[in-house]
Amino acid sequence: MKRILKWFLGAVLLLVALAVVFLLSLDPILRVTAEHRIRAQTGMDAEIGKFHFGLLEPVVTITNFKIHNPPAFGGTPFLTIPEIHVEYDRDALAKGQIHLTLVRFNLAELVIVKNEAGQTNLFAFGVALPQKGAPGGGNAGLKELKLRTGLEFQGIDALNVSVGTVRFLDLQNPANNREQKFGIDNLVLQNIKSRADLTGLTLLVALRGGDFFKNVFGSSLNLQ
């Protein structure tokens, strides 16, 4: 279950990282193009409420960002993100590297859906669960990022994370639907270079999640 939880967080961050990379390569007037590109890469519809690209400073701010589940998963919102604020190293980006000096990420809601065929949207997203003991398994998401974008992740100097609510919808049996409020506000993590550096966030999510992930994934939580 520990690997499931780490993968779950890694998949969400990978999706956001991909979206940020796509948006960094586009002018603000191409917001609609960005939404279409996200759909092409993920199979999910995206909405961007407001997009600000700093012309004089390397800053990108995205507000009211939503990604919707595909029809097979009910078309419900997948991610609701009031704000993604990114300050990046322009010189590193020119070298094909992603070095983010500050990321402020506010996840208001994540909706996990099990469809009528028994598939779960997180797994259908296409990020493979790293195998225990597999070489590089802990950084599988970063390898996926480089594979999809050609950019190498160098790290995040400061990551400010807020997590609101995670919901689970079972389209086969609505009686299994449940909701968990995490109430994580402005948790600051520094020098993030791999998923292992998200341990503090992982533990906090696990503690505040209680039996939520056990009930959703049908496994006991082991933090050892």
pLDDT digits (tens, 9 = 90+) for 25-72: 554 454 666 667 777 767 788 888 887 777 678 888 889 989 898 888
Does 134 have pLDDT greater than 50? no
pLDDT of amino acid 129: 43
The torsion angles phi and psi of 152, rounded to 5 degrees, stand at -100, 130
Q: Tell me the C-alpha to C-alpha distance, in Å, between residue 33 and each of 27, 30, 39, 63.
A: 10, 5, 10, 17
pLDDT of amino acid 181: 94
Mean predicted confidence (pLDDT) in 122-136: 51
Distance CA 210, CA 160 (A): 23
Give the residue among 63, 79, 65 at the shortest CA–CA distance from 8.
Answer: 79
Does 194 have pLDDT greater than 80? yes
Supply the pTM of this predicted model.
0.73
Distance CA 61, CA 55 (A): 12
Mean predicted confidence (pLDDT) in 113-140: 63
Mean predicted confidence (pLDDT) in 123-138: 49
Mean predicted confidence (pLDDT) in 100-123: 90
Q: Are 86 and 107 in contact (CB under 8 A)?
A: no
Residue environment code for 13-27, b if the CB has 16+ CB neighbours within 10 A, otherwise e: bbbbbbbbbbbbeee
Residue environment code for 167-204, b if the CB has 16+ CB neighbours within 10 A, otherwise e: bbbbbeeeeeeeebebebeeeebeebeebeebeebbee
Residues with Cβ within 8 Å of 81's Cβ and at least 6 positions away in sequence, in order, are: 16, 62, 65, 66, 105, 106, 107, 108
For the chain, the average pLDDT equals: 78
Place 133 in a pLDDT band, splitting at 50, 70 and 90: very low
Distance CA 129, CA 85 (A): 28
Place 212 in a pLDDT band, splitting at 50, 70 and 90: confident
Q: Which is more confident, 177 or 13?
A: 177
Side chain identity at residue 208, one-letter code: R
